[in-house]
């Protein structure tokens, strides 16, 4: 009886329960939330990240190549949709952080420059997790990975602002810990024609080193401490989504094993960077920041 | 079908549960549902026992118990 | 004007654009590279003049061009693209995708040598490098053949027994930028011969979604291998049908030229064939019993055709406008032909020649040298070199 209820639910929700992702992975959580607004008339193009394991569970048409092909296969699908007069179809192109920041960085930039009509999602778990936790351009400063065992010494690329600088109609940051905000941003993206980019932080208990049960709690802390702030850039105008007081970054960092080796100086550095970013965002809130 | 290997499984105390639905919102695997009768049910075929539902529950109505004893 | 048949002098790159136009390619993702560039700018011109209706995507690199081609083809569009040399190398990763995923993309390989062993002019390594991936590879001698082969290529690729991508290969400069008389057929006639395309196996559209996957990687591979076997007949049939409709045919796989009672033949590919025809004619007038085989279809390799004709000749001179360093012996075509004939009774000697590497001109003197050496091997029963680097001999500059 319970099984039938769930089987029907998976059909209605367009996502099969029980992915091959790790317990507590934000990937299936992201797609579960996204599919609540996307609808059946959707094609998802995406492959590569850990969240790919979740993509095997979605029940809308899905096509992917490898992670060096972000946004370009989707560009082709887009052209086919135009050629066939099927621009009613919603096209989502999704990529992990390694694909977005590193190997397909140029691809995303080019798709943004061409203003391809698609929603480009970055599912950011802050390292190449699928291959066993190697650093990417979106791994934060100080984080342990297998290729940065003493902690990453370089900074995290500011992908949302880089994409915004391409003058695309809509860029947003989102978090699976704030699903209502994420859904609102997806719905807004669906209503706009052109290149839309939504950067979503998704937790990785395996790579960030914490108890899977804390997955949502830690992700929330990332937003609440302003390490991963929530905002939109719509037609070049900045809108900060969440303006609450910042919790100390230390709370966020100490909740994860990957930041275990940070020194006092490093934590202070991170706090000052986060404070600067917060001040910037709050000062520019409501203003046109892309010219 | 793959075998679910799970150390802990969620168990809900229906009296403490206030049917807020937060566990349903945050379960990464879509394996928690709130029925029309306001009861929380789990799909133990696919639940991984990650514990997010228990961690997020505002009334601590869900406990992670040893697998097999739910 | 743009839809009715007409004939004029046309470079290969313009003929190719007309081929894509007549085939009603729906999506063209492309990135420019010498000597392919005019092909895609000609397509842009045809679109701007209202003569071609296609979704033309100016992508930022060749890797993207092929990925976009894959996406568009998977979504059911008829796709065309083109590249050369370094660009082909840059798209190597996605070039593996269409055969395994059975996507009937047609692509022009405008042959150009690979750096650092040369500059902008042609040899065949860039296209032949695809020989393991599962692409059908057809080579063209002049503008007319390029145009006609593109239209034929879609018919071959979109045959449900095949569903493989097809490479239409032609030499940069010598074909791409050399004008020869070309007839552009009537659009209505082409439409009748090449109807619009729907993939029978796949649909990505949400309302008709079907994406069956093979049960195993083995099934996927054997499917491609079987399609190549079937392609051997399909390519010939398509050429025969084309000849019936448009009055021009190329044999599909190979063409035997002036081979009546020949003692030996030489095998050429692509633009040098034109030069070779003249040399063979000259040598015939001198009484030499030499013939010419034009190899048009390199993949699938026409082993059966060669087995059939090989017993007629004492020696086959293979002209390899490519390198395969450290190979079992000589150039790529010679190695393929050796394997094809290995079990044949009364097999001829194979004499291998490197010429035209890095895009140097293949002169009449060089072809004559190749033909003479092959005839001598036929006479003496001996092969002098594993492969003869013809350009290292001073044979004069006569064209």
- d(CA A266, CA A142) in angstroms, rounded, equals 8
**Residue C212: per-residue pLDDT:** 87
Query: Is the pLDDT assigned to residue C349 strictly greater than 80?
Result: yes
* Residue in C52, C59, C64 to test binding to A, most A beta-carbons within 10 Å: C64
Segment (H or E) for A55: helix A52-55
Averaged pLDDT, A164-183: 98
Chain A residues touching residue C93 (CB < 8 angstroms): 66, 68
pLDDT, averaged across chain A: 95
Note the pLDDT of residue A50.
Answer: 75
C381 in the Ramachandran plot: left (φ > 0), alpha (ψ -120 to 50) or beta? left
Instruction: Give the closest residue to C51 by CA, choosing from C4, C106, C108, C98.
Output: C4
What's the whole-number mean pLDDT along residues C142-156?
98
Residue A110: list chain C partners with CB under 8 A.
59-61, 64
A164 close to A196: Cβ distance less than 8 angstroms: no
Nearest Cα to C80, choosing from C27, C137, C126, C157?
C27
Q: What is the largest CA-CA distance in chain C?
A: 69
From A263's Cα to the closest Cα of chain C, the distance in A is: 43
Q: Show contacts of C228-232: CB within 8 Å, 24+ apart.
A: C228/C134, C228/C136, C228/C164, C228/C299, C228/C300, C229/C300, C230/C161, C230/C162, C231/C136, C231/C156, C231/C162, C231/C164, C231/C300, C232/C300, C232/C302, C232/C304
| B29 vs A3, A19, A213: nearest CB | A19
Under 8 Å CB-to-CB from A189, ≥6 apart: which residues? A119, A170, A172, A196, A198
Binary contact (A23, B46; C-beta < 8 A): no
Strands C297-299 and C136-139, bridge-based pairing: antiparallel
pLDDT classification of B2: cutoffs 50, 70, 90: low
> For all residues of chain C together, what is the average pLDDT?
96
Contact criterion met (CB < 8 Å) for B55 and A213:
yes
* Tens of pLDDT, residues A262-274: 999 999 999 999 9
Average pLDDT over residues C96-102: 96
Query: Is A24 in Cβ contact with B51 (below 8 Å)?
Result: yes
For chain A, which residues lie within 8 Å of any Cβ of chain B, measuring from their own Cβ?
2-3, 5-6, 9-10, 13, 15-21, 23-29, 32, 179, 205, 211-217
C71/A61 touch (CB, cutoff 8 Å), yes or no = no
Averaged pLDDT, A52-77: 91
CA-CA distance, C80 to C286, in Å (whole number)?
A: 46
The pTM is what?
A: 0.94
- Stated as kind and residue range, the H or E segment containing C299 is strand C297-299
- List the A231-234 sheet strands across, edge first: A62-63, A42-46, A90-96, A118-124, A195-201, A170-175, A231-234, A237-240
- Give the pLDDT confidence score for residue C44 in this predicted structure: 95
Yes or no: say if C388 and C299 are a contact pair by the CB < 8 Å rule: no
Give the count of Cβ contacts less than 8 A between chain A and C: 118
Do A81 and A159 meet the contact criterion of CB atoms below 8 Å apart? no
Q: Which of C151, C166, C110, C160 is nearest to C299 (CA)?
A: C166
Q: Which residues, at least 6 apart from C109, have a Cβ–Cβ distance to it below 8 Å?
A: C82, C83, C84, C88, C126, C127, C130, C137, C167, C168, C169, C170
Mutant choice from A56, A80, A110, A112 vs C, greatest count of C C-beta within 10 A: A80
Chain B closest CA to A106's CA: distance in Å? 31
pLDDT at position C263, please?
A: 97
The interface residues of chain C toward chain A in range 3-42, judged by CB-CB distance below 8 A, are 26-27, 29
Res. C225 pLDDT band, cuts 50 70 90: very high
Residue C1: pLDDT over 60: no
Mean pLDDT within C81-110: 97
CB B63 within 8 A of CB B11: yes
Selecting from B28, B43, B64 the residue whose C-beta is nearest the C-beta of A28 gives: B28
Residue of A nearest to C211 (CA): A61
Does A72 contact C63 at a Cβ distance shorter than 8 Å? yes
pLDDT at B4: 66
The pLDDT of residue C398 is 58
With bands split at pLDDT 50, 70 and 90, how would you rate the model's confidence at A136?
Answer: very high
pLDDT reading at B3 higher than 60: yes
At C197, list the tokens: 């395309």
Mean pLDDT of C107-124: 95
pLDDT tens by residue, B38-67: 999 999 999 999 999 999 999 999 999 999
C/B touch flag: 3 or more CB pairs below 8 Å: no
Question: Which residues in chain C have their CB less than 8 angstroms from residue A89's CB?
Answer: 205-206
The yes-or-no verdict on residue A68 having pLDDT over 70 is yes
Mean pLDDT within C347-365: 95
Structure-token pair, residue C271: 């633009």
pLDDT at A48 over 70: no
* Res. B70: pLDDT tops 90: no
Contact list, C94 vs chain A (CB under 8 Å)? 65, 69
Using CA atoms, how far apart are residues A39 and A202, in angstroms rounded to an integer?
A: 22
A11's CB contacts (< 8 A; 6+ apart) are A59
Q: Which residues of A touch B30 (CB under 8 A)?
A: 9-10, 13, 15-17, 28, 32
Between CA C241 and CA C249, with CA C247 as vertex, the angle to 5 degrees is: 60
Pairwise CA distance, residues A121 & C176, whole Å: 41
In the three-class reduction of DSSP (H, G, I as helix; E, B as strand; rest coil), residue C166 is classed as strand
Average pLDDT over residues A135-159: 95
Name the neighbours of C, counting chains with at least 3 Cβ pairs within 8 A: A
Spell out which residues of chain C touch residue A67, defining contact as CB-CB under 8 Å.
none
C220 reaches A (C-beta below 8 A): no
Angle between helices C364-380 and C272-285 (to 10 degrees): 60
pLDDT value of residue C395: 87
| Contact residues on chain A for B29, CB-CB shorter than 8 A | 17-19, 28
Average pLDDT over residues A76-88: 96
Pairing of strands A237-240, A231-234: antiparallel
Place of tokens 């899977």: A212
Q: What is the pLDDT of residue A141?
A: 97
Q: What is the mean pLDDT of residues A24-40?
A: 95
Beta bridge partners, C319, equal C353
- CB-based contact C137:C300 (threshold 8 Å): no
């Amino acid at each position: 009886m319970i099984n039938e209820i769930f089987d029907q639910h998976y059909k209605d929700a367009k996502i099969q329960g029980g992915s091959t992702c790790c317990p507590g992975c934000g990937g299936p959580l992201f797609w579960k939330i996204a599919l609540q607004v996307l609808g059946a008339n959707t094609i998802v193009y995406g492959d590569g990240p850990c969240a790919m394991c979740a993509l095997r569970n979605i029940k809308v048409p899905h096509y992917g190549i490898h992670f060096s092909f972000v946004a370009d296969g989707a560009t082709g699908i887009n052209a086919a949709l135009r050629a066939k007069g099927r621009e009613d179809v919603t096209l989502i192109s999704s990529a992990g952080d390694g694909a977005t920041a590193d190997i397909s960085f140029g691809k995303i930039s080019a798709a943004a420059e061409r203003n391809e009509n698609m929603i480009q999602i970055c599912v950011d778990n802050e390292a190449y997790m699928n291959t066993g936790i190697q650093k990417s351009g979106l791994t934060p400063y100080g984080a342990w990975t297998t290729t940065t065992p003493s902690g990453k010494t370089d900074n995290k690329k500011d992908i949302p602002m880089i994409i915004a600088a391409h003058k695309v109609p809509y860029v947003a940051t989102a978090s699976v810990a704030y699903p209502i905000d994420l859904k609102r941003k997806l719905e807004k993206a669906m209503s706009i024609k052109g290149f839309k980019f939504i950067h979503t932080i998704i937790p990785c208990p395996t790579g960030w080193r914490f108890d899977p049960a804390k997955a949502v709690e830690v992700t929330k802390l990332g937003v609440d401490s302003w390490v991963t702030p929530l905002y939109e850039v719509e037609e070049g105008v900045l809108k900060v989504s969440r303006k609450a007081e910042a919790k100390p970054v230390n709370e966020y960092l100490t909740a994860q094993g990957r930041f275990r080796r940070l020194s006092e100086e490093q934590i202070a550095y991170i706090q000052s960077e986060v404070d600067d970013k917060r001040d910037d965002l709050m000062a520019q809130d409501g203003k046109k920041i892309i010219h | 079908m793959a075998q679910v290997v799970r150390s802990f499984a969620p168990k809900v105390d229906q009296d403490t549960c206030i049917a807020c639905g937060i566990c349903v919102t945050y379960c990464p695997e879509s394996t928690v549902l709130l029925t029309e009768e306001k009861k929380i049910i789990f799909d133990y075929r696919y639940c991984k026992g990650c514990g997010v539902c228990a961690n997020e529950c505002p009334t601590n109505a869900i406990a992670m118990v040893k697998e097999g004893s739910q | 004007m743009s839809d009715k048949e007409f004939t004029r002098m046309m470079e290969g790159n313009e003929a190719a654009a007309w081929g894509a136009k007549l085939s009603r390619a729906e999506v063209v993702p492309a990135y420019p590279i010498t000597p392919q560039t005019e092909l895609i700018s000609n397509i842009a011109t045809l679109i701007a003049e209202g003569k071609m209706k296609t979704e033309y995507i100016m992508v930022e690199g060749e890797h993207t061009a092929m990925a976009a081609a894959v996406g568009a083809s998977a979504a059911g569009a008829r796709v065309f693209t083109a590249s050369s040399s370094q660009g082909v190398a840059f798209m190597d990763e996605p070039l593996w995708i269409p055969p395994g995923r059975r996507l009937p993309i047609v692509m022009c390989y405008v042959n150009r040598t690979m750096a650092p062993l040369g500059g902008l002019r042609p040899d065949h390594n860039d296209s032949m490098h695809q020989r393991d991936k599962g692409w059908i590879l057809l080579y063209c001698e002049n503008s007319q053949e390029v145009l006609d082969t593109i239209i034929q290529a879609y018919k071959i690729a979109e045959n449900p027994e095949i569903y493989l991508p097809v490479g239409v290969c032609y030499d940069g400069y010598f074909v791409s930028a050399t004008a020869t008389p070309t007839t552009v057929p009537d659009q209505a006639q082409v439409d009748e011969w090449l109807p619009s395309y729907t993939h029978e196996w796949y649909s990505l559209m949400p309302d008709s979604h079907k994406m069956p996957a093979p049960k195993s990687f083995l099934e996927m591979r054997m499917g491609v291998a079987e399609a190549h076997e079937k392609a051997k007949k399909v390519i010939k049939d398509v050429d025969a049908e084309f000849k019936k409709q448009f009055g021009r045919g190329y044999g599909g796989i190979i063409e035997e030229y002036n081979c009546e009672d020949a003692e030996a033949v030489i095998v050429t590919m692509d633009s040098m064939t034109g030069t070779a025809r003249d040399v063979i004619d000259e040598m015939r007038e001198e009484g030499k019993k030499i013939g010419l085989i034009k190899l048009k279809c390199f993949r699938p390799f026409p082993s059966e055709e060669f087995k059939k004709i090989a017993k007629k000749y004492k020696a086959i001179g293979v002209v390899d406008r490519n390198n395969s360093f450290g190979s079992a012996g000589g150039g790529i075509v010679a190695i393929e032909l050796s394997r094809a004939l290995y079990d044949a009774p009364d097999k001829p000697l194979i004499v291998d020649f490197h010429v035209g590497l890095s895009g140097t001109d293949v002169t009449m003197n060089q072809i004559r040298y190749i033909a003479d050496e092959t005839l001598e091997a036929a006479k003496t029963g001996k092969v002098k070199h594993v492969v003869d680097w013809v350009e290292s001999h001073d044979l004069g500059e006569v064209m």
